[in-house]
Structure 1
Amino acid sequence: MKENPYRQNREEMKELLLQYNNFKNGRKFSFIEEESFERIIDYFDENDDLISAVEAVNYAVEQFPYSSALHIKKADLLIATHRYREALFLLDKAELLDSNDINLYILKTDAHLALDNQEKAAALLEKAIHVFQGEEKAELLFELADVYDDYEEFDKVFNCLKLILEQDPTNEEALYKICFWTDYTGRNEESIKLHQKIIDEFPYTQLAWFNLGAAFQGLKLYEKSIDAYQYAIAIDEKFDYAYRNMGDAYLRLHKYKEAIEVLQKVLELSMPEEVIYEALGHCYEKLKNYAQARFNYRKASHLNSTDSHLYFKIAGTYMSEGYWDSAVKNIENAMRINKSQPDYHLALAKCYVQLDRIKDAVIHFSNFIKARPKNNNGWKELIKCLYEAEYFEEALEQVYNAQKNTNNKPLYTFYKSAILFALGKSKEGLLQLELGLQKSPGLIRQFIQLNPSLLQHQSIVELIALYKTKSPRKKK
């Protein structure tokens, strides 16, 4: 029967520690080899006993003063105990003994960063990457990318990752990271060229296809991005992020049925997420399948019950179908979470208009206007509400307020005209209508939509006809 290797290692470690204690206490002196010291130091370090680890490394360095590896171990422990300057001094000494140990540069970088010397850390690594090759060079480039990230030289982060991929085109870590930094820096054209080159050499690298798709998506070339994602999925049919991004691309192209299909695939392959259900709800809403839209918005709200806009979206589906009471309930749910969102007040006011609760509607239109006094839509809806409810004096007052707050938009001149006619002030109404037609004759439609019976006034019809004949004809 073979001996359990774990038990064997434990027994060996026990023997080493006994030997080390005898060495410390001057009893039964037996020579401890350099490798054994390294194992003892690592044992204390792995068990979070830094004091014992530092003590052991000090003994080790005394015994082997020309060991670069032990000096580096000691420097590592000094960094762990925040003694950065001592660590740098020791690393300089270790470099004289052996300048080809990559850990020298990594630890020096850590120490410089801890001392807020980012430029020194970058300069050190920039020099070191020309010394090493292969995996070690890639490791240093990753370190350098982190340094550039730390002091916000984001284009240089992209450059480091690009260098890694030029020497190791299938490096997964670099492929994952460069996708983010391509998007962040906007260097999509470079990313496309880089990944097309990788694909030419390694056509079954699904991450390269995915990154190519993401770069096309960054340039809003959605059809090309979808093609790239489909290649990624052909290589790895469980590549959920490719389905996710493809869903977004289909959404941008307004291809809602196709988006639904791939977003459903995301749900099959990964944990349910609020954002996916919300996207599905949006697709169904665009397809006017309001019941399915609500179903998915509710799924999203179950995953994040504190997100008020999901309840607002549910309300929107009810409003589209004319279920005003249900819409009100969901808007109220949204407002319990976020009372300060002006759009909720505007939507609630519109529902109250449909339910003939005019006073409630006016309150919420007013709340919207207080939050967004320059917003044309709020004033327009409030005035229409008051006019249709035959509160003509109040409507006229709000017209004046709207003109003050919206830089006297011509629409309110037409509304003022309609209100004056409703108040029996036909001459003043006609003057305002003429003024409106002089400023913006195209808005006459909104004047008529407010009250089509105004066309029963002969004077209004004649004035409109006059301005139609005055307006220049389009050239054929």
Structure 2
Amino acid sequence: MEYSHNEDFNNISLTKFESMLKTNDVLFFDSNEFENIIHHYLENGKISLAKKAIKMGLQQHPSSINLRLFKIEILVIENKFETANEILEELHYLEPNNEEIYIQKANVLSKQDMHEQAINALLIALDLSDSEEGESDLYGLIGMEYLFLEQFENALLYFQKCLEEDYTDYSALHNVIYCFDFLDKNQEAIDFLNAYLDTNPYCEVAWHQLGRQYFALKDYKRASTAFDFAIISDDTFIGAYLEKGKVLEKQKKYTEAIENYKITLALEDPTSFALLRIGYCYEKLGEDDLAVQFFNQTVEEDPLLDKGWIAITKFYAKHQNYQKALHFIKKAVNIDSDNVLYWKLYAKINLRLNFLEEAEQGFKRTLELGNYEIDTWLHRSDILIKLGEYDAAIYNLLQAVEFYPESAEIEYRLGGLYFKILEQDKGRYHLKNALRLNKDYDFIIEELFPNLQNKPVVKAIISSSKKS
């Protein structure tokens, strides 16, 4: 469908249409005006206004193919596929060689996850297309359908065809590189980008993507050069400065990295990523006051960025200022109580401060959120032992056994706990099992259950194991 690009004409039509809606007057618009009005509303996500325009348009121009195609677009958005197909069948009967009908048919099929059939429809549309611009768009649509099917080689082929038709289609360029990345073909991506840059040497997007490929290969010198060319091509390209900063960090050139990150702060509103990286760089340089200043700015700029809260918490923990660390991790937990990284850090800091009940709750919540690392189970059980909660510690460890059935560390603890609650048979079983798995870990009994190591039955089991 063709749309008028006369902005004044479009504005007059829109003003006239919206005035009509307010006054309930019925005014006449030609079909092209309706198409432009509908296109404007769809582009801006104003679906209800688009529907009104389609309804009025079809009342005034009931035979318009394009207006009915717009109606199909709305039906697809509303998941009314059966009705959309019925209209498509009618349109196909009227205009069997209209490529837009096949494009909409593909849209309907795609939304129903029928991507192979969508591709077939788009290939017919491609045969019917008589313009290079139309072909380029169709190549892109076919490429997207292959992405849905995770057929990355085929998707790559069509996105490349898209670029052959229109080398300025940066969306297609990004998709080409996405396919190369997914296929782990960094060198092929580099070759492609170098060939592309031979014909389009001032394309900042291509230089930026080339730098990312070299960065992935840890070729930081070439990556840095590529990002420099991206900046030469567009000195306001924020992505290139950010990536250059990352390269400089890898090269331990922290002062230069800070300079690049700060340029992005001057070009637009501060991003939490840039603020965080500046904080890390200052920390590496030993500029602790400036590091904290930028970590604070990070969490103020984006309170939902977990990396910011973790950075400032770990900073204070590293400097053994656990009270400050606890202050920040509590704030983080209050903002996002389902973040497993927060709870694990919360538990460890409380443990450092010997706040055992709070630490136990932290490790418990960490487990509830699906963090089943063995250290989490062990830390929680050790705290429960110190708190005298032996039954809870046993229950915790029996859950851990399901994930780590051959862990000597778990078995020693279970053995000690069962002896503690006077279940001798279970104590013997688990202690023998622990010694079978790893005799060198018997110090766990001494550390966690010092009163047990001199118990005759425990001494006998350990002594017998050492002799065998």
Q: Residues 390-437 of structure 1: CA distance to partner in whole angstroms, max 9, x if unpaired? A: x6x6689848954772435334577799999xxxxxxxxxxx999978
CA–CA distance in 2 between the matches of 1:397 and 1:171?
61
The 5-angstrom pairing of residues 351-366 of structure 1 reads 351-366=349-364
Question: How much has 1:230 moved relative to structure 2?
Answer: 2.1
CA–CA distance in 2 between the matches of 1:396 and 1:376?
19
CA–CA distance in 2 between the matches of 1:404 and 1:57?
69
Q: Which residue of 2 aligns with 1:77?
A: 67
Task: Determine whether 1:90 maps to 2:97.
Answer: no
* RMSD (Å), alpha carbons: 5.1
Q: Residues 243-292 of structure 1: CA distance to partner in whole angstroms, max 9, x if unpaired? A: 223334555x3747154343323222233223333343444455665544
Q: Which residue of 1 aligns with 2:49?
A: none
| CA 311–172 in structure 1, closer or farther in 2 if over 3 Å, else same | closer
Partner letter of residue 88 of structure 1? H
Percent identical pairs in the alignment equals: 18
Question: How much has 1:321 moved relative to structure 2?
Answer: 1.4
Instruction: Give 3-state SS (helix, strand or coil) of 1:272's partner.
Output: coil
Q: Which residue of 1 aligns with 2:212?
A: 214
Q: Residues 74-121 of structure 1: CA distance to partner in whole angstroms, max 9, x if unpaired? A: 3212312444333333333xx5xxxxxxxx43x233332355361442
Give structure 1 stretches of 5+ with no counterpart: 1-5, 14-38, 59-70, 96-103, 421-431, 452-459, 468-476
Q: Scaled by the length of structure 1, what TM-score is found?
A: 0.63
Task: Determine whether 1:141 maps to 2:139.
Answer: no
Q: Residues 368-398 of structure 1: CA distance to partner in whole angstroms, max 9, x if unpaired? A: 45656853223443466578x7x6x668984
CA contact 1:182–1:215 (8 Å) conserved in 2: no
Task: Determine whether 1:110 maps to 2:103.
Answer: yes
The 5-angstrom pairing of residues 171-210 of structure 1 reads 171-172=169-170, 174-183=172-181, 186-210=184-208
The 5-angstrom pairing of residues 23-422 of structure 1 reads 40-46=30-36, 74-82=64-72, 83-92=87-96, 104-105=98-99, 107-116=100-109, 118-128=118-128, 136-150=131-145, 152-153=148-149, 155=152, 156-166=154-164, 168-172=166-170, 174-183=172-181, 186-219=184-217, 221-250=219-248, 253=250, 255=252, 257=254, 258-285=256-283, 289-307=287-305, 310-369=308-367, 374-382=372-380, 398=393, 402=397, 405-406=400-401, 407-411=405-409
Instruction: Give 3-state SS (helix, strand or coil) of 1:214's partner.
Output: helix
Question: How much has 1:311 moved relative to structure 2?
Answer: 3.1
Instruction: Give 3-state SS (helix, strand or coil) of 2:235's partner.
Output: coil
The higher radius of gyration belongs to 1
Partner letter of residue 88 of structure 2? Y
Question: How much has 1:124 moved relative to structure 2?
Answer: 1.3
Instruction: Give 3-state SS (helix, strand or coil) of 1:305's partner.
Output: coil
| CA 314–41 in structure 1, closer or farther in 2 if over 3 Å, else same | same
Partner letter of residue 238 of structure 1? T
The 5-angstrom pairing of residues 439-450 of structure 1 reads 440=438
Q: Which residue of 1 aligns with 2:20?
A: none
| CA 139–281 in structure 1, closer or farther in 2 if over 3 Å, else same | farther
CA–CA distance in 2 between the matches of 1:400 and 1:46?
67
Question: How much has 1:162 moved relative to structure 2?
Answer: 1.0
Q: Which residue of 2 aligns with 1:28?
A: none
Question: How much has 1:211 moved relative to structure 2?
Answer: 2.4
Instruction: Give 3-state SS (helix, strand or coil) of 1:140's partner.
Output: helix
Of 227-236 and 216-225, deviating more is: 216-225
Question: How much has 1:158 moved relative to structure 2?
Answer: 2.6
Partner letter of residue 140 of structure 1? E
Q: Which residue of 1 aligns with 2:77?
A: none
Q: Residues 137-177 of structure 1: CA distance to partner in whole angstroms, max 9, x if unpaired? A: 24313223224424624533432221233455455554355
Q: Which residue of 2 aligns with 1:454?
A: none
Q: Residues 285-304 of structure 1: CA distance to partner in whole angstroms, max 9, x if unpaired? A: 55665544433333232233
Partner letter of residue 84 of structure 1? L
CA–CA distance in 1 between the matches of 2:415 and 2:107?
72
| CA 173–324 in structure 1, closer or farther in 2 if over 3 Å, else same | closer
CA contact 1:75–1:88 (8 Å) conserved in 2: no
CA–CA distance in 2 between the matches of 1:322 and 1:227?
40
Give structure 2 stretches of 5+ with no counterpart: 1-5, 14-28, 39-52, 73-86, 110-116, 419-429, 450-458
CA–CA distance in 1 between the matches of 2:384 and 2:253?
39
Partner letter of residue 118 of structure 2? Q
CA contact 1:247–1:262 (8 Å) conserved in 2: yes
CA contact 1:349–1:362 (8 Å) conserved in 2: yes
Q: Which residue of 2 aligns with 1:455?
A: none
Partner letter of residue 70 of structure 2? A
Partner letter of residue 90 of structure 1? L
Partner letter of residue 378 of structure 1? T
Q: Residues 331-368 of structure 1: CA distance to partner in whole angstroms, max 9, x if unpaired? A: 22122223344443443333333334334434444444
Q: Scaled by the length of structure 2, what TM-score is found?
A: 0.63
